[in-house]
Amino acid sequence: MNNTVLSDDLISRTIETRRYLHQYPELSGQEYKTSKFIQEKLLTFNIELLDFDEPSVVGFLKGSKGDKTIALRADIDALPIMEEGDKPYISKVPGVAHACGHDGHVAVLLAVAEWLSTNREKIEHNVIFIFQSSEEMTPSGAKALIDQGVLNNVDSIFGLHLWQGEERGKMGFTYGSMMASADEFEIIIKGKGGHGAAPHETIDPIYISTYLIQALQSIISRTLNPVHPGVISIGKIETGTTFNIIPDSVKVFGTVRALTPETVKIMREQIVQLTAGICESFGASGEVNYFLGTPPLVNDLNNSKFVEKVIQDSFGKEVIKLIDPVMAGEDFSHYLLEKPGAFIFVGMGSEKSNYPHHHPRFDIDEGVFPNAIQLLIDIVKNYQ
């Protein structure tokens, strides 16, 4: 096995960093204190700060050869969630919490940056450290950095997610599609309101919406190829003022998720078609506002093979887990549209981490930090 040596002091600093960040979370686009903290750490490691828009932070380490450049990415934003529990490092910011693990991602990547900076003679390739704002919102922080040229000189990019849904001790990834697109839509049904006692004098948009919501699921069951997964979920309906008035309009809000751009296109077209047809059949009108979110996350074949070999050599074959794709979204997908790379789940499902991501009681099992740090270091050391 590959024996990258991590000191106990480095692991202790990683835990300390994570717990500090956990107490002071910041929402997407507002991570300026987090950004300042990261910048100060990178400067102490003598890592150059590149000129990209804050609150994202990008650092650069020159390799001994420098003929290739690897990018490593961590997301830095928190969620609008009131944290629950009694952990000593609980969020001190009311209504904001690191309930997805991004505080751990930052701490791990800072530890990687520290180790690489003190072992420069072992590092052949250039390394770009991307600490990215706004993973949890649209527009994507990844897309903003790409538009600014963060990947211009990059050969491959890698990222990881500390993943509660996989057991501790496993590292999971896929060859190809790994995570889904995450689009949103709003449907506005316009009918004719009136008194609840005289529905025949109205064009009831609530009644029409019940037909449409059911019909949308026919896209999944009868339009898509069964081997190409897709999800349409309705999360919100807005309408009405009281119990006996039929309103003029209804707004229906939902999400569309799929593992290929082709499937997304089919679902989008069918939502528009069904909305127009069903509303017209009742004498109403329907309008669809469709908002593109993150695209599907698709790992590069060659880089997936490389990651599998690194995991096997560093941790043993039994650690590898080729997982089923996950229908959650992740804006690391934007990077993989531009450059080859791979995204990896570092499993941490355990007694310490037994609540799912985005839950008020979510927590990280910090015992997985050494493996997460070593994984990224060994990816850099062994990249060809």
List, by residue number, the catalytic residues. 77, 135
Cβ 80 vs Cβ 94: under 8 Å: no
The pair of structure tokens assigned to 53 is 């828009």
CA distances from 316 to 2, 15, 284, 321 (A): 10, 25, 61, 11
The pair of structure tokens assigned to 111 is 């530890």
Q: Which amino acid is at 3?
A: N
Q: Determine the straight-line distance between the first and last CA of the chain, rounded to whole angstroms.
A: 18
**Cα–Cα distance measured from residue 307 to residue 336, given in angstroms and rounded to the nearest whole number:** 15
3-state secondary structure at position 91? coil
* Of 240, 234, 153, nearest in space to 194 by CA: 240
**Cα–Cα distance measured from residue 295 to residue 261, given in angstroms and rounded to the nearest whole number:** 7
* Of 157, 150, 156, 178, nearest in space to 166 by CA: 178
> 287 Cβ partners below 8 Å, 6+ apart?
187, 188, 190, 275
* Of 70, 69, 72, 65, nearest in space to 42 by CA: 72
**Cα–Cα distance measured from residue 346 to residue 343, given in angstroms and rounded to the nearest whole number:** 10
Cβ 141 vs Cβ 75: under 8 Å: yes
Query: What phi and psi values does residue 339 have, to the nearest 5 degrees?
Result: -135, 150
**Cα–Cα distance measured from residue 366 to residue 355, given in angstroms and rounded to the nearest whole number:** 14
